[in-house]
Amino acid sequence: MNKTSVSGDRDVPCDTNDIPDESGELFEHFRFIVDKKQGQLRIDKYLMARIENASRNRIQNSAHAGNILVNGIVIKPNYKVKPLDVISIVLAYPPRDTEIYPENIPVSIVFEDDDIIVVNKTPGMVVHPGHGNFTGTLQNALLYHMQQANPGEPEAKPYLVHRIDKDTSGIMLIAKNELAQTKIAKQFFDHTIDRSYVALVWGNLSGDEGTIDANIGRDIRNRLVQSVYDDPEKGRHAVTHYKVLERFGYVTLVSCKLETGRTHQIRVHFKHIGHPLFNDESYGGNEILKGTTFTKYKQFVQNCFKLIPRQALHAKSLGFVHPGTGKFIHFDSDYPDDLSAVIEKWRNYSSASTVTNEE
């Protein structure tokens, strides 16, 4: 078999072994240009030889899901590659090496059918085992739930399609089979997933809406956080749209729409524009960044930190095309108790005080 030239276009969200509470999209994208001397060969065999850990089943699922394009056209699983074909494939992220054990942990299930589970994740719950968090995760809880609901199907298990941080609450989508996972992965790759978040950020934003377009990559000094880079070789393209929902003078409640799903995207983007998320320890939001020097104000902020001992970020809603029915569905969630409490506390403070714009 002749050697194939590869374009170097591989979209992998992050190294899941390094960041314990990463957020992001779980897919791999590969692009190949077939060698001039390549003989005709079934595309699944061709790709198996070129993608590490890509089983024939994973590749065929990608073909059935419409995730393999040759020269820009969706192909069937029996397609035979030809010289100079340009092949693009989106694969659902492979299963993690970490063994997962079922655990009877309460989890809020918003919707479930044969293909997907939609949950409202509580803050403090890690999404999957790894890096010191081998138990007590959402995946452990869902594995128990699925095995209890399907005692005759020992292979039933949750397939992750995206993540949100341990201390971020809100709506998450999980696939119940590999084909559903693969179809959803393509939607994340195509940026057709409709996601909205709500965040409380430091400062009084200058406009009522805006867009943050800044490349994000792992910080060279601290691998557990991300930074913004001008050099596209160091950071990956990331876009966050936001709208102001409510102003409290020293902090602002915003709604965020994601075009991309980079690790810690909202958190690092708002730090970049000088408005870190409230009580976000990793990005400097756990300090009093705006406000007065009065002792009473400092005590007020400290009390707010105690109300929400995490970054003030909630995955509010999620919309996508159902992998089985092909229909667009949308799920929304209420604010969790801690976020509601801190918003109400700031609302009362700002209405009772004369708060100046210190931007």
As annotated, the active-site residues are 165
Tell me, rounded to whole angstroms, the distance of Cα 315 from its chain centroid: 10
Longest alpha-carbon distance in the chain: 77
Structure tokens at 285: 């939001």
Listing DSSP states for 180-197 in one string gives: HHHHHHHHHHTT--EEEE
Phi and psi for 145 in degrees, rounded to 5?
-60, -45
Report whether 183 contacts 169 (CB < 8 A). Answer: no
Amino acid identity for residue 83 in this structure = P
Report whether 124 contacts 130 (CB < 8 A). Answer: no
For 295, half-sphere exposure in the C-beta direction (CA atoms, 13 angstrom radius) is 0
Secondary structure letter of residue 83 according to DSSP: T
Structure tokens at 8: 């170097």
Report whether 30 contacts 91 (CB < 8 A). Answer: yes
